[in-house]
Amino acid sequence: MTHAENELGQPIGLPLPGWVPPPAPPRTTMEGRLCRLEPLVVERHGDALYEAIVAAKGAAHWTYLPYGPFASATAFREWLAQAAGTADPLFFSIVGQASGQALGLAAYQRITPESGAIEVGHLSFGRPLERTPAATEAMYVMMKRAFELGYRRYEWKCDALNAASRRAAERLGFRHEGIFRQHKVNKGRNRDTAWYSVIDGEWPLLRDAFERWLSPDNFDEHGRQRASLRGLGR
């Protein structure tokens, strides 16, 4: 059942008995087995993030982001300081549990408690984090917190031409909802935006798939996955 009818015979959205808007996500650490997401603090994370992201990656990393590339460590730290001071986006540094080093950035954004919607964005993964189980775990941990807080909808949006981001969204279980044409102007260029989401009714199966994929039993002695995330029944 996808809708109800009102007393006038018109189709209307299903009622949400007991619906209470969730709180804004707290600025507190989220723990995983392989990584943790700490609230961004420039003094604690800035140097490591510069080395992992800016120094190690070229200009291509910044093509689809609304900022960057950065000409110097000072310029990057100034941008980090601005990012760390906002509540929406709410920035976190992805820190390796084993190394204690900051390896990447992620944020909650467009936080809309009254609708129960929240988006993940501003993803910048350093070289040591890219294509690792820790990167997947970071996305799982953020999604888990959002749904446990009571959000109904978890969004991923990206430039429609950003093939890598679109592949990542689909691998992580987001459903494609369409293309918003001429949605933004980014760095003086048109941006069509691809929209993806996970909703609360899909979360239990997706959560189970993440947990099975992230289990140490899913990796051989060389760290290779035995089963893919896509193939775990979600």
Options 3.40.630.30, 3.20.20.70, 3.30.70.330, 3.40.190.150; CATH of 27-218: 3.40.630.30
pLDDT at 230 (0 to 100): 85
Measured in whole angstroms, the distance separating CA 212 from the mean position of its chain's CA atoms is 20
DSSP assignment, residue 51? I
CB 4 within 8 A of CB 11: yes
pLDDT at 233 (0 to 100): 63
pLDDT at 5 (0 to 100): 94
CB 83 within 8 A of CB 72: no
Q: Which residues are CB-neighbours of 96 under 8 A, at least 6 positions away?
A: 34, 35, 103, 128, 129, 134
Query: What would the pLDDT profile of 65-123 be if each residue is shown by its tens digit?
Result: 999 999 999 999 999 999 999 999 999 999 999 999 999 999 999 999 999 999 999 99
Residue ranges covered by each domain of the chain:
27-218
pLDDT at 2 (0 to 100): 84
pLDDT at 231 (0 to 100): 78
Query: What would the pLDDT profile of 173-200 be if each residue is shown by its tens digit?
Result: 999 999 999 999 999 999 999 999 999 9
DSSP assignment, residue 198? E
Query: What would the pLDDT profile of 21-49 be if each residue is shown by its tens digit?
Result: 999 999 999 999 999 999 999 999 999 99
Decide if pLDDT at 232 tops 90: no
pLDDT at 234 (0 to 100): 62
Decide if pLDDT at 7 tops 80: yes
pTM above 0.75, yes or no: yes
Query: Strand, coil or helix: what is 135?
Result: helix
> Looking up tokens 């293309």, which residue turns up?
179
Short-list 116, 195, 208, 203, CA closest to 162:
195
pLDDT at 155 (0 to 100): 98
